[in-house]
Structure 1
Amino acid sequence: MAGIYIHVPFCKTRCIYCDFYTRTDMSSKQNYVAALGQEMVLRKEYLQKEKIETIYFGGGTPSQLSFNDFAYLFRILRGTFEIEENAEITMEANPDDLTNEYIETVLQKLPFNRLSIGIQSFDNKELEFLKRRHSAEAAMNVVRLCQSIGYNNISIDLMYGLPGQTMDIWKRNLSIATSLDVQHISSYHLIYEQGTRLYRLFKSGDVKAVDEDLSVDMFSVMIESLSTAGFEQYEISNFAKDSLYSKHNSSYWLGKKYLGLGPAAHSYDGRNRSWNVASTSKYIQGISEGKPYIETEILDTNTRYNDFILTGMRTKWGVNLIELEKSYGPELKDYALKNVKQYIDQGFVTHKANILSLTQKGIFISDGIMSDMMWVD
């Protein structure tokens, strides 16, 4: 089983924290959609005819595409790949795009069965600071509207650690999120990425990062609040009800193959990584000439071992030592056990039935644990 990720780089406006490859110029949208269909055909052998169990439209803002855009892409997908009957098909969307008309013409007529809605906050001042285009009330109404037409696998994104954010505001965000009865919540600490407007504001002193102790407390409160509301923390930043994990994102953490389509999209064939050029114009040109601009990284055993540790230890499934030894050899298995022993002794990691996994308190120092387990040349 494998997955397909489709990158849609277009956005109405650019959020101040975003460092993904996006663009606000929509003039190349139709040529880009046509190129996506061509890339599917050009790279159909990449996944070696494995059945497709997840399709994920991410961005950017996929909800900037129209019914006709999606209908064309689904037609090519079906004609090119063998797609599992009950495949998880996700669209990332911004609340302001999900109008009644868009829901009726796109979500109700196309085979999407999972929505990931980029809300980020239910506080209007925070939304204004982040340069989000929706209000808190509009976001809540959109979730309820999608539920009313039958969507029962909805994920929302939340951010914490924003400048000026208080614990009261964060608790209120969590309370509203859990009251909406969504099935999945992804929550990430705000990061000051170089090249973003937020980073420039931070470096100039116009915004100040939240206190580190408060960040840790917010993370702790999030885990407690979501657990009380029936969510399972199956990955450090991801929580699900009723085992409705993101199958697509889980495939990354579980080391499954995936094909990334579109500019800046990444792919993994089970051994090596590759990625498309981060330029819409070069992407379209390369595809039209039948020579996609793709870079490939050949992964040696130690690098693949590090990826295995980094992705596995972030999840509830942990690191399977039998699989580790089979894939990377007994020396690296012994290396992992030697370097994680202190954390097992201190109660930060469990070692049961050949599985290493973080305990609840281990999650709070996960970066250090994973760093110590990784191979350093």
Structure 2
Amino acid sequence: ITEIELSAANHSNTVSEIESSLEINEEKEVEKIKERQLVTFILEGEEYGLPIESVREVLRFKEATEVPGSPEYVLGLLSIRDMILPIVDLKRLLEIENLSHHREPLFQSEDQRIIVVDIENILIGVVVDKIQQVLRVGEDKIEPPSGIFKKNEDDPLCGIVKLNQGDRLIMLLDGKRLIPEQKLKGIRGMVDESKEYLNKEETEGEEIQMDEIQLVTFRLGKEEYGIPINDVQEINRLTTITEVPKAPDFIDGVMNLRGNVIPVINLRKRFGLEDTEKDESTRVIIVNLEDRLTGLIVDSVSEVLRLAKSSIQRPPRIIKEDVNIQFIDSIGKIDDQRMIFILDIEKILDIKERGELREFSERDMHNKE
């Protein structure tokens, strides 16, 4: 009886140990999935990031109308979809470059973008040299900034993201504290005065914003496409694609996304377009297909923008010779010169192909194990 009791006690201890181990593993798994999604960009050769929840949209750079007597970091005002948008030079605001002249012209390039941020219910456009990517990083990769990095108590720097064993550093900015309170009051007053001058009601802008869709837009050849931002997990530069034997035709191969091997679809091939050489502009948009992370290779990512739903319409049966209607959900018109084909990612693969993607992912996971 003693042996049986001892055996039972040992069994009970073993079960407890296993349960404890499982609980620890579950806790580790919970910790593992704590991530933050960032929009990263370049300023004077250094990489910075903003939490994606602070970013309303990303626009191509446009000249703003100067406002007499405005601070040196305010480039002017821009009218976007009946909305007055103050434009701020982020380098001047953060005192990253030497300001020897009060109104030195801003150097312009094709890569420059305006990131629209919401700070205390004021939409403000900040000019950056270049958008780098949209990515997810684990909380364990973010360290508090040391005194070396922070200039003063108003500095919006809230963390340092260390990637690739510290070879890649991203200065994480607090979107809510991007502009100090006193400077923000001045910008708010400037916008209010402009609205009065243009006879724009505050409610008009709010109603327009409520009836909008947010898109990530990208190019394939001469055409511009869009994917609802809620369908986009992140946007990365193209890394090494590994070909896999017996992969479905629509899969170029697999890529490593922070330790996860994910299938990659070449949208040019998928849409029946001629394939081209990849270059610095090539991007991989990560989406969720069949509950699996999947990469979509595109020629370049244009911007993140908001489009009024009134500007969106159902596509006709025939659009253009090089645009396949089966993948298109709707068409957005920004003006007479610019049209965006909005994709439904569920239509990118048919039922049979979705099954093939599922089987491919499961087979690849099995091989990895």
Q: TM-score range by the shorter chain?
A: under 0.3
Instruction: Provide TM-score, normalisation by structure 1.
Output: 0.25
Q: If you compute each CA radius of gyration, which structure gives the higher value, 1 or 2? A: 2
Instruction: Provide TM-score, normalisation by structure 2.
Output: 0.25
Name the structure with the higher helix share.
1
